[in-house]
Structure 1
């Protein structure tokens, strides 16, 4: 039973500490839309999305009004389009028409993003999957709300280095196709290792083939709430610190659970998972970096940062899993640069580098996220950075991701504005030594020995 104190406490978290539900994401299977005729396929996709999701935005707004809980985004994820389109799409340009259909459907139902322009190629690529990957630059340039993700590795299969090399080239090409918008297309493109089927957060969301026909997944937030709670226990022991994070994560996740159950009931669609990630925004006080500073670091990136982030991530998960029967997605703490004011400040102060961020990704939820780099960075260098991050995920049996933005025409020390939740970022330097010969090798890096569990 929720008592009056808990109601007041939740209201305070919303009003003062930036507590919100970051997204209700409706996952929709497009498997029953598959058709060998491209025109029929596009029509089936549009019809299914606009039918299943017709009440999503309205329902989200009603829940906001009824409970006073901000729900920042209403989104859709769909079956990886490489699978859906393979029978009809014979060339990259065919896949672009599917991206345009997704964008049109997203606009019709009013969601801000639709994810699933995706391919799962951790062990190899079909011709259709390669065509989708090669279509990404044009697809993201011609659409506003479509997000793309490519899974190039897993602990079970190893790393598909042909796909890693190709994705480095596609990131550069996407930057060039959207250079008039400061290479914004790259902000909607993420490369994964061990991508989960039920992630509600963009740009990596897609509706896995193991999922039901439609599902409601909710992503919560709450870095400001955690920071506020920790400010009350400054100087206390690690035991007190950990208990505080766990209790706060429990409260935040309960809010998400309530929203998910209500959305499921009102839409008549099964509840999938709660993703209990601490997802920062550019707003003051809504920062994972500031939590790390509250724990005791002068700046994010200082010695001790990786340990502090590991502690935070683990305690968020321990507290959150007690608040919901179904926790999934990524869950933990995100460390995007452009979307976190504390991270931006740490980069500007010289405390945080790409190399330190890579070390932090060993213990956080995702990986190298929303990092702006010089526009003249070589495709092979980007492929090398992707390979490094994918290796962390593969060896450590965790999800890792890369969302790099080579901003055409800008260099180190300049700043790029993306706007909204995507924020702004200083251009960060990258290592200039070449890895061309390494990423040009063909084939894949084998799975680690501990993957063999059958």
Structure 2
């Protein structure tokens, strides 16, 4: 049970420290929508989504009012559409029609984002998978709320380098077709290794094949709360520091548990997981980078940053798993550049580079996230960056991701504005040396030796 002391603490965290429930996400299986007729498939998908998720937004608002807890986003994740559309879609244009249907369904139920315009090709691509992937740029151009992801590797299967090479092209093409909006299409596209089936956060959310017909997953965020707690133990030793983070993470997760259970009951949909991820926003005081500075760094990126982030991530997870029996998704600390004012400050000061961010991704929740790079960056260079990040995930048995934005028409020193939760980003330099011969080899990087555990 949650007592009045916890309620008062929670209210203080909400009012003063930017605590929020970042998202309630309904995962919806579309396997029963499959049909070989495209029009029938579109109708089935629209009807399923708008039926299952019809009360999501209203219930979210009721819970906000009931507990005085902000719920920033209400979202939907679906079965990867490459699986659902393969019988009916013969061309990329056919898949774009499905994307439009998804966007219409999302608009009908008034959710912020819908994730699952996705493919899982970690070991190989079918012809249909490739057709689907080639539809992504146009799909993201003609939709507002659809998010796309492609899983190209895993610890168990290795890295599909053909898919990695293709995704370099796809990201660049997406940037080009949305160049009039700051290449924002790339902000809705992520490349993953070891993608979880139950992630409630965009752009990587999809409803895994091992999930029930529908499920409620909740993502909680509270960088400001953690920073505030650490201010009270400034100068203390690491034991005190770690205990403070762990206890704070416990309290934050309890808020998510409360909201998830209530949403599950009101929507009559099973509760899945709580994803306790310290997901920042552009708001001042809601920054993971600021937590790192409170731990003792002048700027994120300074020597010691990776150690500080590892400490933070581990204590967040230890606190979270004590507060809920079903902690999942990603859970830890996100380090998106454009969505974190502290990260932006570090980049502008020259303290943080892509290479340092890559090192940090070895110990954080996800990977290279919301990083803007020059618009003339070569496709093969983008593929090389993806390959590096996928290798980190594969070897370390963790989820890693790349959400990188080559902003057409902009170079190092410029900025790009995305607005809302996506914030703004300085254009970061990339290594100019070629990796063409490497990414053009084709084939698959084998799984590491420690993957053989059967």
Same fold (TM over 0.5): yes
Which residue does 2:67 correspond to in 1? 67
Distance (Å, rounded) in 2 between the aligned partners of 1:132 and 1:292: 40
Query: Alignment partner of 1:276: what SS?
Result: strand
Aligned to 1:98: 98
Match of 2:160 in 1: 160
1:131 has 2:153 as partner: no
- Structure 1 window deviating more from structure 2 (125-134 vs 138-147): it is 125-134
1:407 corresponding residue in structure 2: 407
Q: How does 1:28-43 map to 2 (within 5 A)?
A: 28-43=28-43
Structure-to-structure mapping, 1:151-300, within 5 angstroms = 151-300=151-300
**Matched residue, 1:327:** 327
**Aligned position for 2:15:** 15
Q: TM-score, normalised by structure 1?
A: 1.00
Partner of 1:369: 369
Cα distance in 1 between the residues matched to 2:2 and 2:334: 30
User: In structure 2, what is the Cα distance between the partners aligned to 1:127 and 1:41?
Assistant: 20
Q: Does 1:341 align with 2:331?
A: no
CA distance in 2, matches of 1:422, 1:53: 24
- Structure 1: any 5+ residue segments left out of the alignment? none
Deviation at 1:121, TM superposition (A): 0.1
Q: How does 1:411-450 map to 2 (within 5 A)?
A: 411-450=411-450
1:252, 1:373 → 2: CA distance? 34
1: distance between equivalents of 2:8 and 2:83? 48
Distance, in Å, in 1 between the alignment partners of 2:132 and 2:231 is 48
Shift of 1:167: 0.2
Deviation at 1:58, TM superposition (A): 0.3
Shift of 1:2: 3.1
For the pair 1:114 / 2:123, whether they are aligned, the reply is: no
Structure 2 unaligned spans of 5+ = none
Post-superposition CA distance 1:10-41 (Å, at most 9, x none): 11100000000000000000000000001100
**CA RMSD in angstroms, aligned pairs only:** 0.5
- CA shift, 1:7, in A, is 1.7
The answer on 1:309 being equivalent to 2:334 is no
What do the CA deviations read for 1:105-125 (whole angstroms, capped 9, x no partner)?
Answer: 000000010000000000001
Distance between the aligned counterparts of 2:209 and 2:165, measured in 1?
26
Give, in whole Å, the separation in 2 of the partners of 1:311 and 1:419: 31
Tell me the distance in 2 between the aligned counterparts of 1:402 and 1:226. Answer: 26
Distance in structure 1 (CA, Å) of the matches to 2:311 and 2:292? 10
CA distance in 2, matches of 1:7, 1:29: 35
Counterpart for residue 78 of structure 1: 78
Give the drift of 1:42: 0.4
Comparing 124-133 with 330-339, greater Cα deviation is found at 124-133
Residues in 1 aligned to 2:360 and 2:86: alpha-carbon distance in whole angstroms: 37
State the alpha-carbon separation in 1 of the partners of residues 99 and 412 from structure 2.
33
SS in 1 for 2:206: coil
| Secondary structure of 1:321's aligned partner | helix
d(CA) in 2 for partners of 1:118, 1:131: 12
Distance in structure 2 (CA, Å) of the matches to 1:118 and 1:2: 38
C-alpha distance in 1 between matches for 2:447 and 2:9: 47
Cα shift readout 1:173-202 (whole Å, capped 9, x = no counterpart) = 000000000000000000000000000000
CA–CA separation in structure 2 for the residues paired with 1:3 and 1:181: 48
What secondary structure, in the 3-state scheme, does the structure 2 residue paired with 1:11 have? helix
Distance, in Å, in 1 between the alignment partners of 2:219 and 2:7 is 21
Deviation of 1:5 (Å): 2.4
Q: CA deviation at 1:3?
A: 3.1
Shift of 1:397: 0.3
Aligned equivalents of 2:244 and 2:224: distance in 1? Answer: 14
1:148 is aligned to 2:148: yes
The CA distance in 1 between the partners of 2:367 and 2:239, in whole Å, is 27
Runs of 4+ displaced beyond 3 Å: none
Q: Residue by residue, what CA displacement relative to the aligned partner does 1:342-373 show, whole Å, maximum 9, x if unpaired?
A: 00000000000000000000000000000000
Q: How far off its partner does 1:8 sit?
A: 1.5
Matched, 1:88 2:88: yes
Partner SS, residue 372 of structure 2:
strand
Deviation of 1:9 (Å): 1.0
Equivalents in 2 of 1:272, 1:228: separation in Å? 30
